[in-house]
A = this chain, B = another copy of it.
Amino acid sequence: MSPIAQPRSRIQQKNREVILDAALEVFSLHGFRGATLDQIAEVAGLSKPNLLYYFPSKEAVHKVLLTGLLDTWLDPLRAMDPKGEPLREILGYVRRKLDLARDYPRESRLFAGEILQGAPRMREAIEGDLRALVTDKARVLIRWMDEGRITRVDPVHLIFSIWALTQHYADFDVQVRAVLGPGHDPFAEAGRFLETLFTRLLSLGP
């Protein structure tokens, strides 16, 4: 309700970060209801009451994580330049999204778990910011198609396919590695595969 008091000491800042990192670890593995403050406190190396000194409730910790997340998650799509060369821009987006999945798998799983459970704590953000950005970029894609610079496909489902294919490697990491077996670099292989896939999908035919 009240504006957040920002002046925090170094130790406060540091502890908040430690807690959020621990919470990300635990929430991403067990979901909101499955996660416990005991676990989070243990991973953070703090006592449970001390954790609750920094955040008023379990819900509050979760909310801070989610709030910061969506923005980062949409950055790669935002960076798709309407003035650039279409195929190059789309492949660039795929590459950035895949890198994000590789470098921030816990964030990806936190997000996935939230959506999987019906997005009870993200509904507005999804129906607001997310939808607006997709609608905007879909318009760019349609223009490129109208100009005959890429194949005509459903632009929103094209974006869905990029999300699905990149996040799969973070969210289903266990399955991917179990099936591939040892001696593989899933993300490197995915990068090559996805470049081929989207190039063939979008390059104009003969």
Residues of A within 8 A of B (CB): 29-34, 109, 112-113, 115-119, 123, 126-127, 130-131, 134, 151, 153-154, 156-158, 160-161, 163-165, 167-169, 171-172, 174-176, 178-181, 189-190, 192-193, 196-197, 200-201, 205-206
With a CB–CB cut-off of 8 A, which chain B residues contact A161?
165, 168, 193, 197
A-B contact pairs, 10 of them (CB 8 A): A31-B34, A34-B117, A116-B116, A123-B178, A160-B168, A160-B179, A161-B193, A164-B164, A196-B201, A200-B205
Partner of A29, one of B30, B118, B178: B118
Which residues of chain B are within 8 angstroms of A179 by Cβ–Cβ distance? 126, 130-131, 134, 156, 160
Chain B: minimal CB distance from A33 (Å): 3
Q: Given A153-B193, A163-B168, 5 other A-B contacts at CB below 8 A?
A: A123-B174, A157-B190, A164-B165, A196-B201, A206-B206
CB distance from A66 to the nearest CB of B (A): 14
User: Could you tell me the distance in whole angstroms from the C-beta of A35 to the nearest C-beta in chain B?
Assistant: 8
Report B-chain residues with C-beta under 8 Å of the C-beta of A32: 34
User: Out of B131, B178, B200, which one reaches A178, CB within 8 Å?
Assistant: B131
Which among B115, B172, B196 is the interface contact of A153 at CB below 8 angstroms? B196
CB neighbours (8 Å) of A127 from chain B are 178
Contact residues in B for A130 (Cβ distance below 8 Å): 175, 178-179
Contacts of A31 in B (CB 8 A): 30-31, 33-34, 113, 117
